Amino acid sequence: MTQPNEKRGKESTKFDLKKVPARVDRVKVSGLLRTHNDYVMKAAENLFKAKNFQEVMLESMHAKSYLHELGIFKDVSVHIDVSRGENASSDGYEVTFKGKELSRIVGSVGTEVGQNEGSLRTELTIPNLFGRGESISLQGSYSSKRANDIQLKFWKSFFHTKYMENRPEISISLFRHLDRFNVSKFQNTNFGCIAEFAVNTLQPLQLTHSLQYEASIRELALLQKNVPMAIREHCGPKLASLLRYSVIFDQRDNPVFPTQGLMIKSINEYCGLGGNVAYISNSTHGEISIPLFGGLVAQLCGRLGVIKETKKTTVLPLSNLFYCGGPLTLRGFEFGGAGPVVDGTPIGAQTYWSTGLHLWAPLPFNKVFKGLANNFRTHLFYNVGNFNTFSSENIRSAAGIGLAFKLAERARIELNYCIPIRKCVGDKVNNGFQFGIGYEFV
């Protein structure tokens, strides 16, 4: 028989770590082979401010996360030990971070999701090129449906500076991008370079900013022989020089199936700093989600696109026009099926807008399958949209019901049964099941 005293001896004693005085005397980061010491010094700043053992542990975990985000380590472990030596304080500790740097060359092969397409993606990266987080990568992606890319990119983050909370980063890229517009019977090839500066701001709102300068040669080529003259006259190489500014405000609790929060994304371009392509464009996407009851979520989405001529030219590039219709913009219509048509061939519009009202619900048996069912949602939807006008004349609309599946933590797949409600002569509708894959749906 176990005696009461033995039971009490086996019970663990609870300590309030806040009441245990502690300070950090020394911080050491081991495993630095190519990395300069000054690149990791900021990890120790808050550790020296700790006044008790709980703060030491919490700040050690924060420092570990910080070292991971520098992008130079494959793995980082933390060791806390009593401080030793002549200068050791009575309640002092030594914190050691043991890191394993990434290999000199890192490769990956996988798939990525675009807007209504998937592609095979390969990448070779040389991380931490000069010892302070500089990296260079060669990326390539192939899609049998629409877009192919190859890109050589050099980038450097300034996460180790006093502006770490703003996450500033600069990059320079050489790229070749091939985009096939099968519905309009042409393809567009871009070859050029992009210089980018990205930063986050915290006040008065948390925003993600990106400012890019692009200089590229754009060449439009035909995919078929029977192509309207309105498209043929755009063939040939052209030089584009433009500034692109994008800003994102995102307070959603989940990027794929949000239950609450607001997201607004705006991309603005001014082309005409040189070359023979000129335009001004804006594309804005927004969505707001409101929780109801029983797991139901109401969601309102909207998208607006506008492109205008400048004084330098009256001809707009076809590849920058907006296509209205498809599972990502206006369900119940084919891609480009609710836009302007020339000689039976859809082409993009200078202005388009679309909105979507959704009622999202979990699967009825989600509690049975638990984790698996959390990747699925059902929804009722109603889409409205139009092009080249903001009036209600010739408006298009569709409604339906569908099942959505979360793909990783960024994209989703939808299988919807669509019923077009309002359409116009010449529209290409999809009355029945429609499949969509992407990361921004209306």
The number of residues making up the chain comes to 442
H-assigned helices in 167-318: 229-232
Residue ranges of the chain that CATH labels 2.40.160.50: 106-438
Q: Which residues contact 235 (CB under 8 A, 6 or more apart)?
A: 186, 220, 221, 222
- DSSP letter assigned to residue 232: H
Kind and range of the H or E run holding 90 = none
Among candidates 398, 403, 386, which has minimal Cα distance to 333? 398
Q: Is the bond into 420 cis (omega within 30 degrees of 0)? A: no
184 three-class SS: helix
Nearest to 406 by CA among 357, 355, 360: 360
User: How are beta strands 92-101 and 23-30 bridged, if at all?
Assistant: parallel
Measured CA to CA, the distance from residue 37 to residue 41 in angstroms comes to 6
Which residues partner with 107 through β-bridges?
Answer: 124
Going by C-alpha positions, the residue among 358, 352, 339 that lies closest to residue 429 is: 339
* Close Cβ partners of 435 (under 8 Å, ≥ 6 residues apart): 327, 413, 414, 415
Q: 239, 407, 439, 219: which is closest to 328 by C-alpha?
A: 439
Could you read off the pLDDT tens digit of each residue along the chain, which spans 442 residues?
445 555 444 455 566 777 788 888 888 888 888 888 888 888 888 888 888 888 888 888 988 888 888 888 888 888 988 888 777 888 888 888 898 888 889 888 877 776 667 778 899 999 988 888 899 999 998 887 777 889 999 999 888 777 878 889 999 999 999 988 888 889 999 999 999 999 999 888 899 999 999 999 999 999 888 888 888 888 889 999 999 999 999 999 999 999 999 999 999 999 989 888 999 999 999 999 999 988 899 999 999 999 999 887 878 888 899 988 889 989 999 888 888 888 888 888 899 999 999 999 988 876 666 677 788 899 999 999 998 888 778 899 999 999 999 887 888 999 999 999 998 888 888 899 999 888 889 8
C-alpha triplet 117, 120, 121: angle, nearest 5°: 115
Determine the topology of domain 106-438 in CATH.
Answer: Porin (2.40.160)
What distance separates the 2 farthest-apart alpha carbons in the chain?
98
Residues of the chain with CATH 3.10.20.310: 23-101
pTM summary value = 0.86
68 in Cβ contact with 95 (< 8 Å):
no
90: phi then psi, degrees, rounded to nearest 5 = -65, -35
Q: Check: CATH 3.10.20.310 for 23-101?
A: yes
